[in-house]
Chain A
Amino acid sequence: MQHRGHRIAAVGDYDSILPFQAIGLRQFAIDDPDDENRLREILLDLINKRFAICFMTEDLCRRYEQMIDDLTCDNMLSVISIPTLKYSTGYGTSQIRNWVEKAVGIDIFANK
C-alpha cells in the first residue's frame, strides 16, 4: 500500500541544516544542543505530523541515541544521521556496525 505526500525534515544546528531548506526540506534548528526537551518536542511533532524522514546532525544523534530509538522504534519515522558543517565523526557507519553486532553477534566490517 502506498501513502503519498510525506514530508522530510532536517534537524540540527542552524548552519548545518540551512542548505536543506533550499531543496524543500522543513528545517528545525536547535541552537542549544543541551536542550533535550526541545528535541523531544520536535520529534513528537514530526511523528504526529507524519513526516517520513528526519535528517539529524551527528552530534545530536550521538548524544540522544537512546531517546531517538525509543521514540522512533514503533513508527515509520526514519531518523538518519548526517555530518555537520564543521566535522564528520563517522557516527553513521559506527551505528550500522553496532546494529550488525547487536543482531549477529560479530562485527562483519571489523577488518575494513
Chain B
Amino acid sequence: MAETVPLQIVRRVALVGNPNVGKTTVFNLLTGMRQKVGNYPGVTVERKVGRLAGEPPVDIIDLPGTYSLSPKSADERIAYDVLMGHLEGETSPDLVVCVVDASNLERNLYLVSQVMDTGLPCLVALNMTDAAEEAGLHVDVAKLEQELGVPVLPLVASRNEGIGKLKYRMRQESLPEPARPRWDIMPVVEEGLPFLTDHLDGILPEHGRRIEVLQCLTNDAMLDHWARRLPAFHAAILAERERLEGLRAPYQQAEIMGRYNWISPVVARVVQRSKADTELTVSDRIDAVLTHRFAGPVLFALLLLLIFQAVFTWATPAMDWIEAGVVSLGDVVRGAAPSGMLTDLLVDGVIAGVGNVAVFLPQILLLFFFLGLMEDTGYMARSAFIMDRIMSKVGLSGGSVVPLLSSFACAIPGIMAARTLANPRDRLITIMVAPLMSCSARLPVYTLFIAAFLPTGTILGILTWQGVAMFSMYLLGTVMAFVAAFVLRRFVFNKGDSSFFAMELPPYRMPRFRQILWRMVDRSKAFVVRAGKIIFGMSIILWVAATFPRAELTPELAQEARILEVRKAERVEGLKATGMSTEEAALLIDEQFAEEDTALDARIASFRIERSVIGWMGHALEPVMRPLGFDWKISAGIISAFAAREVIISALATLYSVGDADEDSPLLREQLKADTYEDGSPVYTPLVAVSLLVFFVLALQCMSTLAIARRETNSWKWPAVMWLYMTGLAYLFSLVIYQGGQALGWG
C-alpha cells in the first residue's frame, strides 16, 4: 500500500513595484538562479517566476515594473490580471510584496494603494532606505505600518540587507491580514458604487469588485470585455458615466485624486526631512554635467564611440579564437570520424553553422554589458532625454537611440534592447527598422566587394574611395531606417492616442557589476538559444540543398581525378623502392600533391554545387535577379545567405572553387574579377558590385533576426512584414542603381 502523501500546495507570492525601485534585484536575491523566464500567453510581457528554496518552498512571480495597476499598457494589464486571478488557470497570489523606493515614497504609494484595494494579503518592502537617508529623508517604519495597515520591512537590496527578514515573512505560516482600502473617492462617485459592485456579486470574489468597478468606470479597454460577459453591468457602467457627466463630476480623475489626497498627508506624517528639498543632491550635480547643453551631447557621443570601439576592436581577438576553435573542432571531427556524408554534414553543416552564431557572441556579450551599465547607472534615461528631440522628428522617441545603435553590432541585441521603450508603438517601430542598421555580419561582405571592385585612389588627398564607399553603406542603412520609421509612423501606426512621453529620470546609482553580469548572461543566453536553434536547423537545410542531388562527375573530371591518383600511386611506388615505408611515402606524396589535390577538389565541389538544389535555385532565380546585374552564382549566394549574410562568402568560394576562403582572400577576389559571361563580358563590374552592396545593406538576410522579432512581437505578422519591406526595398534600390547606371553608360 502506498502511503498517502499530503499534497503540498506551494505558496505563491507576487512582487510588484514601480520601475527603478530595485525590484529585479530583490527578485534575484530571493530566487538566485532558480528562475524561469517566458512570455505571458498572447502578449510580449516577460513572465518571470522563481523559486525561493528551503522549507516551505515559495514561488515568486516578478511582475513587470509599473506605475499603476490601471491597465493602459500590456505591462499594467498583466500586473492587474495576475493580482486579480483573471489569467486562465491561475488564482490570485497568496501574498503581494510591494517593493517601494523609500526616497520616493509619495509616487510609490500610489501603486501600493491600488494593491491594497485588491484585498489581498500584502506587505511593503521599503527598499533603498540608505539612499533615502542620504537624501535627508527618514521614514518612520512603525508609523507607516500603522497608516497603511500592512507590515513594512525596510531593505537595502543593493547591499543584501533585510532580505533574510523578507524571506522569513514570505514563508511564515500566518499571512498578513488582507489589506483594506484606506482612501475615499469623492462622494458623488462613491454613492453610485454599491449599486455597481452588486452586479458583480457571485462573479468576482468580494475583494475584487470595487477596484474592477473603478477600472471600468474610467477605462474602456477594461469595460469592453464585460459587454458580452455581463451586458447588464456594462449598461449600468455606461449609465453611471452619463449620470456623472451630467453632474459635471470629474470622475475620470476622481480615483487618482482620491488616492493622492490620502497619500500626501500620510507621507507628511511618516517622513522626516533633515535637508531642504531644494538642496542639490549628488545626482543633480552629475546631471548638471551629463545633460548640459554642450557637454551632454559631447559626452554621449564619446560614450558611443567607446562602445563601438569595444564592440568592433576588443571583441576581435575573442572572435578570432572562436573562429579558429570551430575550424579545429571540425578538423578533429573529420580526423576522428570515418569520411562520408554524415561527417560532412556534421562538419560543414552543424559545426560550421553553430560557429556562425558563436562567432558573434563576444560582440553581443560586450554590447549587453554596456547596455546593462547604462541601465543600471540611470544613464539610459538621460541618453533618451538628450536624443528625444531628433528622434521624435521621424516618429521615434529618445529611447530608440540605444536599440538602433546596438544594431550596428547586431540587430538581435538591438531588438531586445527595444524592451526599454515604454510606448508599445515606439517599440514596434524601433524593432521594425533596427535591422536596416548595418550589422557586423554585413561587414565581411562589404569588405570583399569593396576591396575587389572599387577603385583604390583617394579623394581630396585624405579619403580613399574605398573608405568613402564603406561609410556610404553605413549611411545608407541609417538613412533608410529613419525613412522607414517615418513612413511606418505616418501611414501604418497613425491611429490611436497621440504619443506622449513621460519618462522618469531616476537618480544615478553606482553600477552593481553582479547584477549587470547576471543580466548580460541572461540576455546572451536568450540569443544563443533562440538564434542557435534556427541557425542550426537552417545550416543543415542549406548543407543538404548544396549537397543534393549528388551529380555524377563528367567523364573528363572523373578521368582527371583518376590520373591524379595514378600519378600519386606511381610516385609512392618509386619512393618505396628507395626503402621508405608505405605510410611515410604516402604522407610525403600527399604533402607534395596538396596543391593539386585542393584545386581538383574545389573544382569537383564547384561542379557538384552547380547541379545541387542551391545551384538549381540560383539558375531559377537568375531571370529575376538579372535586372539587378546578378548572375546565377550571385543568386545562389544570396539564397544561401538567407540564413546569415556572411555565408555568401563561403558559398561564392565554393561556387568559384577556391577551397576555403574569407573576405580577405586574394584568390577569391581574383576569381570574381576573372569571371565572364558566355559572350566574354565580365560578370562583375563596379556597377554590379555597387548593386550587390546596396542589396546587402537593405535586404533582411538573417534568420535569427526574424526569430527574435517573432519572439519580441509575439506574432509572425511583423517579422513577415519586416522581411517583405526590406527585401522589397533592396530589390528596388538595386534595380534602380543597376538599370540607371547602365543607362548612363557606367556598365
A and B: interacting chains: no
Residues of A within 8 A of B (CB): none
Chain B residues within CB distance 8 Å of chain A? none
